[in-house]
Every structure is written in structure tokens, then in C-alpha cells.
Structure 1
Amino acid sequence: MASPASFAHLVIFARRPVLGVGKRRLAAAVGDVEALRFQRLAIDRLLRRLAGDPRWTTTVATSPDRPTDWLRGRAAAMPQGRGDLGRRLSGTARRFPTGRLVIIGSDTPAVGPADVAAAFDALRGHEAVVGPARDGGYWLIGLRRSARGLLPFEGIRWSSAHTLADTLDRLGGNRVARLRTLEDVDDLASYRRFTAQRP
């Protein structure tokens, strides 16, 4: 008999945490070293909180595709592939043909198991679920198998105040649940708010 986790798939989108590769907007404000330190902290926190949960399987979609040794076996790895974010998200979604799929980014360190569980629960009665971000984007998107025939990732104005609205428009008449609003840490203002909240 299949376990519940075999029908609930969590994917974390993450760039390889090495100097000069990820968090370029943040690095422009705080420097490469500090941006890398945040990136590693955020990824480590998410994997520590989410990867071992038996309610879902956890996979990290990595960019660049190789190497993946930085994961240190904490989660399965898969390549994001080529193209813009929409193309990479669509390609990832197509690799999970059954069950409920939830995708999160790696720059929202406030995400916890309760958030992911709420997303999977929402997909029992909705075709999609989103976690709105403070900047107009989203930190989470989830899809049921029945809603993945037409993926909502084409024609999106990524990294803008229109990202969430564009995606909701692409989802059309599907039932979409919303989770709590969180903040992506990707610029100086959000980074300062994050550091002010840390113990």
C-alpha cells in the first residue's frame, strides 16, 4: 500500500549556494559574502524543518543542475533545467504526474511544516493553492493533478508586483486557496526586516 507521502510532493526551488551564483539582487545591496550567508541559512532552515516530514516527499530542484553535493543527502535532487522561471516550473510540474504538488522557493525562511501541511490540505478541495508574498509574487504554489493539464506559468511577469495576479489569471476558473502572506528576502529592505526579527 502506498504511503500518504507518495501522493504529496514538495519541491524546493534553489540555486546552488556558492559565492556569486545566487541572490544577486540581495548581493548588490549587502555584498556577495553576506548574501551567500543568508542563502545558506535559508536553505538549511527549510531542509531542517521540511525535508524529514513523513507527510510528503521532498525534492530540491537545483540550478545549476550539477553538482548537488551541497545537499549532503538531506533531500532528493532534480535539475531545474533550462529556460526562464516559467519554463522551469512547468518542466518540474510535469515530472510529477500523480498526486498533489507544492513548490516553494528557498528565500522565504519563515516557511514551516504547518504552512506546507496547510497547502496540501487545501489541495483536497481546490485545484490550486498559493502563498502570497509581500512584494506581489508568491512564496508557494500548489497544484492538484487535475489542474496540471494547463500549467499557469507562461506569460507571467516574474519578479514584479504583477506575478501573483498574472498567475491567478492563468489559473482561470480553477478553485484557488490562499495561505498566509509571507515575505521573500531578496532586497535590502526585506533583509533588514528579516535580521530584525531573528533572535
Structure 2
Amino acid sequence: MAPRPTLVVMVKEPRPGRVKTRLGREIGHVTAAWWMRHQVARLLRRLRNPKWRLVLAVAPDTALASPAWPADLPRMAQGGGDLGDRMRRAFVTGAQHHRGPICIIGADIPAITPAHIDRALAALGSHDAVLGPASDGGYWLIGLKRPATPPGTLFTDVRWSTEHALTDTLAGLRGLSVAQIDMLDDVDEAADLRR
């Protein structure tokens, strides 16, 4: 029997001025933090599924015990560094505790459904990696079939928060078979929230 895959959700404690800061500059930091708190709660309810293990990668590390997270979900600290450092750590740490493929998503993508995760995991059946692209040039999901040993080039020289993030990440996966699934968008600004 194949090991159960893991879905890691990257979450940031929903504190005003510390989460969704670009959105907060437009709609107010308290409102942005309120939106994020409720978005995370809805997302986690929707993504509970016996097909995969749901794990939270929490920032800051001091928020591991925050009451913002469901008490029954396992948590790991994101640690320091840029987004690539933190996702690499989530792959390696997740693989130390659980066998099987791992997918990582952000918590600020309202349209994610279990069907999207099913498609990503199915793609890992015949590919080494999977990405869920976003229309802004980034991506909302990355998954590895063998997460314990991510390629040394993965997340190297990625221009985060730009239209180049997906292309740069694909360059770091060169030599591996990579699938791309559905395009979804995150919420960074008020226009994204309206959409």
C-alpha cells in the first residue's frame, strides 16, 4: 500500500500589520488580518480529507501554539529565510515525519478545493514534481514525489513576488518531469479580493 501523501499549508499568524500587509495598506490592517483568519479557517475545513495528511507550516515560529490554528492539526515551524528556504524546510521536515509525496500550498487562495489537491497528487503519480500556476506569474502549489531530497537547485535564484517566480522555479527543477495543473490566484491586493 502506497504511503498517504501530505498537504502542507503555509500559514502566518493573522495579526494586524504582520499578515497580508499589501492588502492591509488598501483595506486596513485589522480588516486584512480578519479576512486572513477567516480565509484560513474556511480553507482548512474544506481541505480536511482522509486521502492526505494535513499539516500546518506556521510563521512566525513563536505562533506554533497560537489559538488561531485548529488544535488537532499537526504543526511545524517555517523557520527563517526567504519563501524558498521555508518551503525547502517544509519538504525536508515533512519527509522526516511522513513517507510519501508532499504538496505545499499557500493559505491565501480562496478557490482551492479538494479536487485541485487530487489532481496535483495524481500528477505526482507519473511526474517528479507538480506546480499550480497563478496568473501573476507565481504559483499556488508545489509538490514533490520525493520530498526528502529536493533538487539542490530548487528555489535558487527565484525572484519571489514577481511575474518570474514560476519560470525561475521551473529552472530549478530542470531535469525532472514536471506537471502543471489548474491556474488559481492568491489574494495580495484589494483588486484580488474583489475578483
Q: Shared fold by TM > 0.5? A: yes
The equivalent residue for 1:26 is 23
The equivalent residue for 1:177 is 179
Match of 1:38 among 35, 40, 55: 35
- Structure 1 residues 168 and 128: CA distance shift in structure 2, 3 A: same
CA distance in 2, matches of 1:77, 1:56: 15
The equivalent residue for 1:71 is 69
Report SS of the residue matched to 2:94.
coil
Correspondence list, 1:69-148, <5 A: 69-97=67-95, 98-145=99-146, 148=149
CA distance in 1, matches of 2:81, 2:147: 25
Paired amino acid for 2:75? A
* Offset of residue 187 of structure 1: 1.0
- 1:134–1:184: 8 Å Cα contact kept in structure 2? no
Report SS of the residue matched to 1:177.
strand
* Offset of residue 119 of structure 1: 0.7
The equivalent residue for 2:49 is 53
Gaps of 5+ in 1: 194-199
* Offset of residue 146 of structure 1: 6.9
Residues 42-77 of structure 1: per-residue CA shift (max 9 Å, x gap): 101110011x31001011100011233321314211
CA distance in 2, matches of 1:110, 1:146: 25
Residues 4-34 of structure 1: per-residue CA shift (max 9 Å, x gap): 5x53010000100122211011111111122
CA distance in 2, matches of 1:48, 1:116: 14
Report SS of the residue matched to 1:139.
strand
TM-score by length of 2: 0.91
Paired amino acid for 1:91? R
1:16 and 2:32 correspond: no
TM-score by length of 1: 0.89
- Structure 1 residues 74 and 18: CA distance shift in structure 2, 3 A: farther
How many matched pairs? 189
Which sits farther off after the overlay, 63-72 or 152-161? 63-72
Report SS of the residue matched to 1:82.
coil
CA distance in 1, matches of 2:172, 2:150: 12
Gaps of 5+ in 2: none
The 4+ residue runs of structure 1 with deviation greater than 2 A are 66-69, 146-149
- Structure 1 residues 146 and 48: CA distance shift in structure 2, 3 A: closer
Report SS of the residue matched to 1:129.
strand
Measured on the aligned residues, the alpha-carbon RMSD in Å equals 1.6
Instruction: Name the % identity.
Output: 42
CA distance in 2, matches of 1:135, 1:72: 31
